Structure 1
Amino acid sequence: MQDYIQKRVIEICEYILESHATVRRAAQVFQVSKSTVHKDMTERLPSLNKQLARDIKAILEYNKAERHLRGGEATRRKYKDLHEQLAQ
């Protein structure tokens, strides 16, 4: 694995561990695709540091379990805002 990829993997890992960020958020911050972040965390990180990979896996699984709730909340806010605009 090339040095710049190893550096990126570790930087993204540290960011996710500190902020419990989603893959989407980490991709935005580091200006890479979601698939790159996912591949870095699930395939490349375990070869660099198994303990960090386990910690990241737990965060990613938690975020995946919460995903449907976040989507529902966003939809609820969207229609609440729309209703408030129409009421004005």
Structure 2
Amino acid sequence: MKEYIEERAVAIANYIIANNATVRQTAQNFGVSKSTVHKDCVERMNEINASLAAEVRKVLDINKSERHIRGGLATRKKYLQKKY
């Protein structure tokens, strides 16, 4: 694996852990796709640093379990701002 990819994967993992960030927020912050963030965190981090990968996995699992709530809140906000 190329060095810059390893550095990016570690930086992404640290960002997610520090900010409890979602994959979408992280992708926007780093200027990469959601697929890249996911691949860095799930596949590449296991090869680089298994303990860091486990921490990231915990945050991603929590975010995944809460995403339906965030989606509902976003929809609610959208319709509250809409004027009839």
CA distance in 2, matches of 1:74, 1:17: 23
Query: Matches of residues 51-70 of structure 1 in structure 2 within 5 Å?
Result: 51-70=51-70
Q: CA deviation at 1:18?
A: 0.5
After TM superposition, which residue ranges in structure 1, 4 or more long, deviate above 2 angstroms?
none
CA distance in 2, matches of 1:57, 1:15: 13
Larger Rg over CA atoms: 1
Render the CA deviation track for 1:10-53: whole Å, top value 9, x for unaligned: 11011001101000000000000000000000000011111111
Percent of pairs with identical residues = 50
Q: Please give the TM-score of this superposition, normalised by the length of structure 2.
A: 0.97
Q: CA deviation at 1:54?
A: 0.5
The equivalent residue for 1:28 is: 28
Q: Please give the TM-score of this superposition, normalised by the length of structure 1.
A: 0.93
Query: With CA pairs under 8 Å and 6+ residues apart, which has the higher RCO, 1 or 2?
Result: 2
How many equivalent residue pairs?
84
Unpaired runs of at least 5, structure 2: none
Give the root-mean-square deviation of aligned CA atoms: 0.7
Would you say 1:7 and 2:18 are equivalent positions?
no
Unpaired runs of at least 5, structure 1: none
